[in-house]
């Protein structure tokens, strides 16, 4: 956590402000993690809003085989349905998906984990598995979710 303070907006009491870095873990739902060679993740938290950005690059998928997850988010999300949020992956390379497929992440309720999914117009939503990722895969992402605190 590199800095903290209070922000006061018109008509509000002070909101906690914090910014810093976090270490993402990329792996599957069974806890098999990939080897990350570039892990550049940061966050800004104002009140309950947590803005995350990240860039992950791997050189090995290890024994990962199931649905992919990014874990280690800097704050646990809210425990009710307003805590769920979608985080777009704006850039991916070294992945195997059909043209026109969108890869996204979903932060579930009361969680520090983002489950990865892929969407196509023809097929709808499906889990994004380690089989869709290559040893030299990479992604960049950014979005907002609400925290418990």
- Give which of 116, 141, 113 is closest to 128, Cα–Cα: 116
Residues whose CB is less than 8 angstroms from the CB of residue 50 and which lie 6 or more positions away in sequence, other chains included: 43, 44, 73, 74, 75, 144, 145, 146, 147
Residues 6+ away with beta carbon under 8 Å from 96: 131, 132, 133, 134
Q: Is 75 in a helix, a strand, or coil?
A: coil
> What average pLDDT values come out for the chain (149 residues) when binned by 10 residues?
60 82 96 97 96 98 95 95 85 91 92 93 89 96 94
pTM, two decimal places: 0.88
Q: What is the pLDDT of residue 69?
A: 97
From CA 4, how far away is CA 6, in angstroms rounded?
Answer: 7
Q: Tell me if 67 sits within 8 A of 116, measured CB to CB.
A: yes
């Amino acid at each position: 956590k590199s800095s903290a303070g209070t922000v006061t907006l018109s008509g509000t009491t002070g909101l906690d402000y914090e910014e810093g870095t976090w270490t993402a873990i990329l792996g599957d739902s069974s806890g098999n993690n990939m080897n990350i060679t570039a892990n550049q993740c940061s966050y800004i938290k104002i009140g309950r809003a947590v803005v995350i950005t990240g860039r992950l690059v791997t050189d090995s998928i290890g024994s990962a085989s199931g649905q992919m997850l990014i874990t280690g988010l800097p704050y646990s999300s809210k425990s009710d349905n307003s805590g769920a949020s979608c985080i777009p992956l704006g850039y991916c390379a070294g992945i195997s998906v059909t043209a026109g497929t969108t890869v996204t992440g979903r932060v579930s309720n009361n969680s520090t984990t983002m489950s990865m999914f892929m969407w196509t117009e023809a097929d709808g939503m499906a889990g994004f598995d380690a089989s869709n990722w290559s040893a030299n895969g990479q992604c960049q992402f950014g979005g907002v979710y609400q925290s418990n605190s």
